[in-house]
Amino acid sequence: MTTNERPIGERHNPVMLRRTLDLLAPALAEPGATVVDCTLGLGGHSEALLSTFPAARLIGLDRDPAALELAGERLAPYADRATLVHAVYDELPQVLSRLEVPRVQGVLFDLGVSSLQLDEADRGFAYAQDAPLDMRMDQTSGPGAAEVLNTYPPGDLVRILRSYGEEKQARRIVEAIVREREKEPFTRSGRLVEVIREALPQAAKRTGGNPAKRTFQALRIEVNGELTVLERALPAALEALAVGGRMVVLAYHSLEDRLAKQLFATGSRNTAPPGLPVVPEQYQPRLRLLTRGAELPTDEEIAENRRAAPARLRAAQRIREAT
């Protein structure tokens, strides 16, 4: 049985599922509660939310039409309570407006690349398989990874690899890429992996797993504008939360996690000028942190699902309206 033929439930093992459900539970127990899964993927978290909270309504967003189709099949038993929308998660305000949902009680972000995208070889996300260099989460729009590699100025490529991939050997890799693209444009992931492998010194190849991992991550983030979108999406989701509502963010990259950390830290502080004997309402914190720092998956979960290893979970509750 191929990857594509396996049942959806076997293709997607939701990360830190029990903890996510426990954190959202107090906000979703009441009838009429709405939860938004901003990163629907194959629907593993959404299925668990719908089955665990039988009075809740779910809105699921995904930019990948293939993921929406498969998640729709998985969530068919809950069709009367689930609305699936083809949208990038920074479009949440427009989606809620169209659906006439003013506020929601729960929001979940499970960031990064989905199991579907990693497992479909022809998507080009996985450095372990030779495939067309695409990496678009929505294959109906925008340039793919090959166009980025073949057309970006060297300085931009170095910046992307350093910023999004935290690649220390960025300049060396980019020099090799530029030499190779002048001979022939990049079209396949296998060739890129070989160029990276040959460009790195032996010491760099002995640590940190596949030497192409950081470059592929950086290209994926650039192609999909992930951090730019997330910078807009997290505050928008927070604004959509009703008082008492809860938000959970699962990040797999230090830059994603930093955005969530900063947003939650800012919202959980009072903004009063120093020295006031009593802090007026407008300066009181808007958020209550539900996690101490970032929570990590257990060793047992990582053993069962290696894709959980880099996960970092943060959660917060909205405790007052903005003024």
Q: Which CATH class is domain 3-110+226-318?
A: alpha beta
Mean pLDDT of the chain: 88
To the question of domain 122-224 being in CATH 1.10.150.170, the answer is yes
Question: SS3 for 227?
Answer: helix
Kindly report, residue by residue over 158-206, the tens digit of the pLDDT.
999 999 999 999 999 999 999 999 999 999 999 999 999 999 887 666 6
Q: Binding-site residues for S-adenosyl-L-methionine, please?
A: 43-45, 62, 89, 110, 117
Kindly report, residue by residue over 34-71, the tens digit of the pLDDT.
999 999 999 999 999 999 999 999 999 999 888 899 99
Kindly report, residue by residue over 228-271, the tens digit of the pLDDT.
999 999 999 999 999 999 999 999 989 999 999 999 999 998 76
Which helix (H) or strand (E) segment holds residue 316: the answer is strand 312-318
The pairing of beta strand 241-251 with beta strand 82-86: unpaired
Q: Domain spans of the chain?
A: 3-110+226-318, 122-224
Is 181 within 8 Å of 145 (Cβ atoms)?
A: no
Phi/psi region, residue 314 (left: phi>0; alpha: psi -120 to 50; beta: rest), is beta
Angle between helices 213-224 and 226-240 (to 10 degrees): 60
Apex CA 55: angle with CA 53 and CA 57, to 5°? 90
Q: Binding-site residues, please?
A: 43-45, 62, 89, 110, 117
Predicted structure pTM score: 0.86
Is 67 within 8 Å of 41 (Cβ atoms)?
A: yes
Q: Please say if the pLDDT value at position 31 is more than 90.
A: no
Closest to 146 measured CA to CA, from 176, 111, 106, 189: 189
Q: What is the pLDDT of residue 125?
A: 60
Instruction: Examine domains 3-110+226-318 and 122-224 and report if their fold is the same.
Output: no
Closest to 157 measured CA to CA, from 128, 186, 131, 183: 186
Is 311 within 8 Å of 296 (Cβ atoms)?
A: yes
